[in-house]
Homo-oligomer: A and B are copies of this chain.
């Protein structure tokens, strides 16, 4: 017994200074045997999978001296691309999961995923079927994107009421939530985004105190000085590069940079930020990186608080869903161009039952 599977993969490792194209991807057909080992494996039919910018870092050619992306995380051409998502169990030798269970965790850009190994199994989480919230929320706002925003903002940003918070890529899957958490924590929040429609949405729909289109600005340091005449206390960085430099030039003493992403640097290594270290030293700034799995221990707290915010309409959920496995390459290329508003995901099956 086996299931037919179809998945997306990269044809070649991506060049280190180029944007990905749809033609960098190809589809492959394979089969997954339903005869599982006794090691507690699970096969999941994928319903939604998450599309995240960080995946590009795994697809690129790795430099020999590059320790950042663990070799286990780097992707080879032809390999399945694992990704966060939601699915339904079709077979299990794991006592925690039964056939038909809805689950969330590290699945893959494919129709069916075989979940094995300690790391992936530890992330697999059974979903309540009786929840009033849409299943898609489990991919983004109640999934890895939400936990990234929550864990990074509260643990690394350490907000206090009245703090002035700047969020870049503020209409993205993580940024929009950071801004909303910041408002709910009594902070003053300004976001940057890449077009007028996004800027209006941040101000009108999500309650940001202000927002601007960075593409209209020639000198980001002056721009931030205009939006933060009293300086920035927390910069939640999703983009790196020139925006990071400009934010550091405008930070208040003891300000915190939450280094969440550097999407401007992902495709082009030469786009690196050159922050002024004299500012970092004299103003006692901290620049702190993090990755979301470090905060899995906070998942229950995060999900409970966030679900309550959603139910009471204090937090708006933005989802941008494409349909069908075949749409993954264009969805991925699109998020790196900033096409999405809110959480980008692909619904793998035509209809969610």
Contacts and interface: CB of A to CB of B under 8 A. Distances in A.
Contacts of A289: 277, 279-286
Nearest to A272: B274
Interface string A269-296: 1001111111111111111111100100
A327 interface: no
Copies of this chain in the oligomer: 2
B277 A244 contact: yes
Interface in A11-40: none
Interface stretch (A65-73, A167-175, A203-211): A65-73
Contacts of A276: 68, 265, 269, 272
A260 B259 CA distance: 20
B272 A65 contact: no
A266 B278 contact: yes
Contacts of A262: 277-278, 281
Given A65-B249, A273-B274, A277-B262, A287 B284 contact: no
Nearest to A221: B65
Nearest to A57: B278
B290 A284 contact: yes
Interface string A118-151: 0000000000000000000000000000000000
A29 to B, nearest CB: 32
A261 interface: yes
A94 interface: no
Given A65-B249, A67-B231, A265 B278 contact: yes
Contacts of A279: 66-68, 289
Interface of A: 57, 65-69, 221-222, 225, 231, 237, 240, 244, 249-250, 259-262, 265-266, 269, 272-291, 294
